[in-house]
């Protein structure tokens, strides 16, 4: 869609807008003194269509400016048309695809606001089936497993320590022959033999070998030790065997976990209800299960692997409070960010710099390269770094997908507000302060002032888009930060589990959370449309039916998964 829009807009800009723009640009004054010329009522009569056909200099000569207004509506209408048409096409393809698969995610609803009298798996099942929307296959009522999760986190940390201790003890060296065995079964200790003496080594092994068997044992290395503190205020300490210490702690912790799993946990107001079919799930989501707006609210459930289980224990009021707190913090952060963003705006032109720092303005006026760096590169780079410094504070959602959606929406608002609104307004105020002061008497002139400022800021926005698209975005896609930290992670990885984690891609927000789902949708539509030989959605749908008749990728990925807290089953 973007390629189509940019292609059509480029054709109009190249054939119509650019020739007209450069034909009239040199003959008009767009300076600050002439900025309010278009607020004169006489300009309206000069801007008739007849004057556009045969314009005479000095009379209706500015009527060509209507061209920009017309093309704004043309490009807006084109963007809306392409957006709607492409969205409908993607939705139809996606519905054809999802309508012929039956994963546990597609058949499960997330039921929140469960009243106290229904906080039981059997009661929830009876209530849903009594609505005659479909049969219930299973119900997972979330309970307050917070204490169990804490013990599992403690166990995971203890297990990593034990693995590191065993790795230090065994190491990665070759095994040696034990000298404590009987001489009749014990080969002589090996010695480093050069490659040219390989035949002598082989003959010695054949002479002293016993049926080709190898009686090797690990190196008798000293077991690692760790310091344990005890006594009053942990002032005393002693060194003990690390492996024995961690193994003993792990066994005791496993016993606590087994006992705690048999305990009856307090139910919460959230449950995952799996229906017998996708249609029954969709019907339950669209139905009003309770007259109260906050009770028995049914929503589509996230995938089992996408659920953030600790957040399911939180009450609805707590989750709402956390969500609003994050929004309030983003508003405060946006207000705070006005200060550094406003400080960058005056550096876009030499006049503003001269008002703030005359010596620097004189120096830049004599140095073309320095003026270009300060007016274009410096504000663009600093503003990009400020936007990249926004933290991730959206961790109160039920699923990772909700967290990602919140991150994308709030980060878009933050970037858009600071980049286009604050930067444009402060840049205008810095450049046209006297005119802005006069325009407060007539607020209709502010729009023309901002329009003129946009023309001056166009160079900055072009530089920013080029820097983001060509300079910064490829580095984000290449995961430069993860690659740069790989040597440090390699040094810190002592266990096989740690070595295995090095092969995992540490995706950041911009790649893993934004482009991956978008790429999946685009790939799904483009591949199937290409295979169908055209844009016939019905033909694509029939191909999807044939493709999904056996198993889809989602069905294979979710095979054997259930809505169960991992703390209840692992290990």
Tens of pLDDT along 382-409?
655 555 555 444 545 666 666 666 666 6
Angstrom distance (rounded) from CA 154 to CA 151: 5
- In sequence order, the 6+-apart residues with CB closer than 8 A to the CB of 267 are 119, 120, 141, 142, 143, 144
CA neighbor of 464 nearest in space, from 381, 341, 348, 375: 381
- In sequence order, the 6+-apart residues with CB closer than 8 A to the CB of 537 are 89, 92, 93, 96
The confidence score (pLDDT) of residue 511 equals 42
| Block mean pLDDT (10 aa), the chain, length 571 | 88 88 61 48 43 48 78 93 88 71 86 90 91 89 91 92 87 53 49 43 39 46 84 84 91 93 90 90 85 85 85 80 76 67 60 71 75 64 57 55 65 66 62 56 65 69 72 68 77 81 58 47 53 51 50 71 87 70
> Which tokens is 97 given?
């695809």
Angstrom distance (rounded) from CA 408 to CA 330: 13
**Length of the chain counted residue by residue:** 571
Q: Is the peptide bond before 268 cis (omega within 30 degrees of 0)?
A: no
DSSP of 120-163: SHHHHHHHHHHTTS--EEEEEEEE--HHHHHHHHHHHHHHHHHH
Residue 450's SS3 state is: helix
The confidence score (pLDDT) of residue 323 equals 73
DSSP of 294-316: TSSEEEEPPPGGGB-HHHHTS-H
User: What burial class does residue 193 get, using C-beta atoms within 10 Å of its C-beta: 0-12 exposed, 13-18 middle, 19+ buried?
Assistant: exposed
Q: Which helix (H) or strand (E) holds 360?
A: helix 358-366
The confidence score (pLDDT) of residue 514 equals 42
Residue 216's SS3 state is: strand
Q: What is the DSSP letter of 345?
A: G
Centre a 10 Å sphere on the Cβ of residue 124 and count the other Cβ atoms it contains. Answer: 20
> Which tokens is 383 given?
């503003």
The confidence score (pLDDT) of residue 74 equals 93
Angstrom distance (rounded) from CA 352 to CA 456: 12
Centre a 10 Å sphere on the Cβ of residue 139 and count the other Cβ atoms it contains. Answer: 18
């Amino acid at each position: 869609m973007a390629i189509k829009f940019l292609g059509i807009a480029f054709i109009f800009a190249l054939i119509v807008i650019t020739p007209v723009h450069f034909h009239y640009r040199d003959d008009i004054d767009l300076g600050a003194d002439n900025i309010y010329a278009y607020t004169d009522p006489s300009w309206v009569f000069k801007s008739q269509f007849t004057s556009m056909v045969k314009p005479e200099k000095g009379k209706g000569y500015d009527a060509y400016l209507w061209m920009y207004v017309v093309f704004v509506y043309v490009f807006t209408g084109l963007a809306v048309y392409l957006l709607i048409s492409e969205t409908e096409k993607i939705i139809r393809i996606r519905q054809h695809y999802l309508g012929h698969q039956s994963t546990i995610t597609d058949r499960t609803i997330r039921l929140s606001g469960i009243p106290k009298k229904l906080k039981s798996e059997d009661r929830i099942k009876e209530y849903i089936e009594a609505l005659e929307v479909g049969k219930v296959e299973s119900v997972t009522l979330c309970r307050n497993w917070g204490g169990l999760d804490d013990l599992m986190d403690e166990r995971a940390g203890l297990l990593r320590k034990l693995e590191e201790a065993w790795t230090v003890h065994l190491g990665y060296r070759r095994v040696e022959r034990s000298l404590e065995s009987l001489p009749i079964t014990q080969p002589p200790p090996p010695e480093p033999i050069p490659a040219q003496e390989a035949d002598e080594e082989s003959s010695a092994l054949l002479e002293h070998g016993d049926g080709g068997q190898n009686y090797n044992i690990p190196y008798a290395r000293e077991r690692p030790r760790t310091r344990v503190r005890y006594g009053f205020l942990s002032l005393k300490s002693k060194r003990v065997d690390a492996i024995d210490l961690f193994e003993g702690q792990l066994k005791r912790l496993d016993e606590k976990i087994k006992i705690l799993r048999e305990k009856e946990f307090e139910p919460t107001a959230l449950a995952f209800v799996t229906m017998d079919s996708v249609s029954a799930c969709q019907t339950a989501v669209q139905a009003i299960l309770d007259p109260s707006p906050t009770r028995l609210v049914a929503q589509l459930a996230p995938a089992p692997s996408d659920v953030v289980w600790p957040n399911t224990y939180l009450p609805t009021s707590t989750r709402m409070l956390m969500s609003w707190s994050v929004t309030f913090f983003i508003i405060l952060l946006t207000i705070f960010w006005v200060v550094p963003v406003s400080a960058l705006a005056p550096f876009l032109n030499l006049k503003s710099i001269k008002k703030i720092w005359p010596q620097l303005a004189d120096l830049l006026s004599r140095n073309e390269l320095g003026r270009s760096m300060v007016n274009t590169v410096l504000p663009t780079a600093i503003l990009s770094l400020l936007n990249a410094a926004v933290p991730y504070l959206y961790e109160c959602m039920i699923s990772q997908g909700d967290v990602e959606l919140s991150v994308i929406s709030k980060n878009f608002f933050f970037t858009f507000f600071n980049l286009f609104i604050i930067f444009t307004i402060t840049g205008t105020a810095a450049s046209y302060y006297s005119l802005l002061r006069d325009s407060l008497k007539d607020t209709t002139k502010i729009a023309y002032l901002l329009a003129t400022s946009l023309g001056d800021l166009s160079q900055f926005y072009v530089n920013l888009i080029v820097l983001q698209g060509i300079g910064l975005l490829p580095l984000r896609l290449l995961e430069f930060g993860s690659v740069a930290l790989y040597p440090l992670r390699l040094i810190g990885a002592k266990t096989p589990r740690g070595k295995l984690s090095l092969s995992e891609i540490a995706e950041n927000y911009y790649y893993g959370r934004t482009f991956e789902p978008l790429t999946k949708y685009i790939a799904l539509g483009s591949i199937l449309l290409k295979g169908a030989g055209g844009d016939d959605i019905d033909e694509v749908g029939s191909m999807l039916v044939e493709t999904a008749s056996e198993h889809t990728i989602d069905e294979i990925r979710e095979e054997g998964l259930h809505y169960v807290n991992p703390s209840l089953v692992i290990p």
